[in-house]
Amino acid sequence: MSDNVPRDGATVELFRDDARRVDCEAVVTGVDARGVRLDRTVFYPQGGGQAGDAGELVTPGGVRIAIADTRKGENAGEVVHVPAPGQDDALAALVPGARVSARIDWVRRHRHMRFHTATHLLCALVPYPVDGCSITADYARLDFHMSEPLDKQALNEGLARLVREAHAVSHRWITDEALDAHPGLVRSMSVQPPRGTGRVRLMEVHGVDLQPCGGTHVANTAEIGAVLVTKIEKKSAMTRRVVLGFAEPAEGR
Ligand SMILES: [Zn+2]
């Protein structure tokens, strides 16, 4: 059983417990200038540094609405599917109560998942606090709070080793009470868990990294494939930025 239960009025976030699910049936709960809200979705809203999903909504009558981005709504747990411009006629088919199939652009999402998981490996290789993160389909960057120089070749060798070692990646939900009962768990995390919502989603790259994270990840580090540090920048006296890219050309892009 999943502990991923939304509050009243919030969107059921299917991607939190199954990052590989590409589509779902859903009911429209609202449409406004920002976008389309559904009762449940496979679309990840921009957050935690990870870009929002793109994809499409399809009505039972075959009307297709291209979704360019996904954002969080004003209230906790709301997901807003942002349509690509120029679809006013198609959007008219979407009224509250209407049924749609929601399908993400899996090629784009899987690139987010590979990069996102790679940033967890970087966290293990660079033991300094992270003070910024951006994950897109074409690059990812992570800002570390540190003044020491970083060695690009050493980081690339470390990433390649962790990918080659094929570490399993999994998540679990843990209550604040369970965290309090296991202080050693918090000490072993590279990022301190947020408090206040009653539960925390822990991401574990087994034997490598453990931290609270709500993003989407691949199931095993081997699935990250050929990811490289393309650039290391000194952004300020206390910030080193590490930029990741894919070593192979993009498929179908
Ligand atoms: Zn993560």
Sheet arrangement for strand 227-236: 130-135, 140-145, 239-246, 227-236
Cα-to-centroid distance, 204 and ligand 1 (Å) = 9
Cα of first residue to Cα of last residue in the chain, in angstroms, is 37
Find the length of the chain.
253
Cα-to-centroid distance, 151 and ligand 1 (Å) = 23
Say how far apart CA 235 and CA 168 lie, in whole Å: 33
Q: What is the pLDDT of residues 106-129, one digit of tens each?
A: 999 999 999 999 999 999 999 998
Cα-to-centroid distance, 116 and ligand 1 (Å) = 6
For residue 58 the two structure tokens come to: 């399809």
pTM for this predicted structure: 0.92
For residue 142 the two structure tokens come to: 């992570």
Q: What is the pLDDT of residues 84-101, one digit of tens each?
A: 999 999 999 899 999 999
What residues contact 35, with CB distance under 8 A and at least 6 apart? 67, 71, 80, 81, 82, 83
For residue 1 the two structure tokens come to: 């059983």
Cα-to-centroid distance, 174 and ligand 1 (Å) = 16
Cα torsion angle, 194, 206, 124, 115, sign: negative
| Per-residue model confidence as pLDDT tens for the chain (253 residues) | 344 555 566 899 999 999 999 999 999 999 999 999 999 999 999 998 999 999 999 999 999 999 999 999 988 889 999 999 999 999 998 999 999 999 999 999 999 999 999 999 999 999 998 989 999 999 999 999 999 999 999 999 999 999 999 999 999 999 988 888 888 887 777 777 877 788 899 999 999 999 999 999 999 999 999 999 999 999 999 999 999 999 976 655 5
Chain centroid to CA 111: how far? 10
CB-CB contact of 243 with 163 (8 Å): no
Cα-to-centroid distance, 15 and ligand 1 (Å) = 13
- Count of other CB atoms within 10 angstroms of residue 129: 13
Say how far apart CA 232 and CA 69 lie, in whole Å: 28
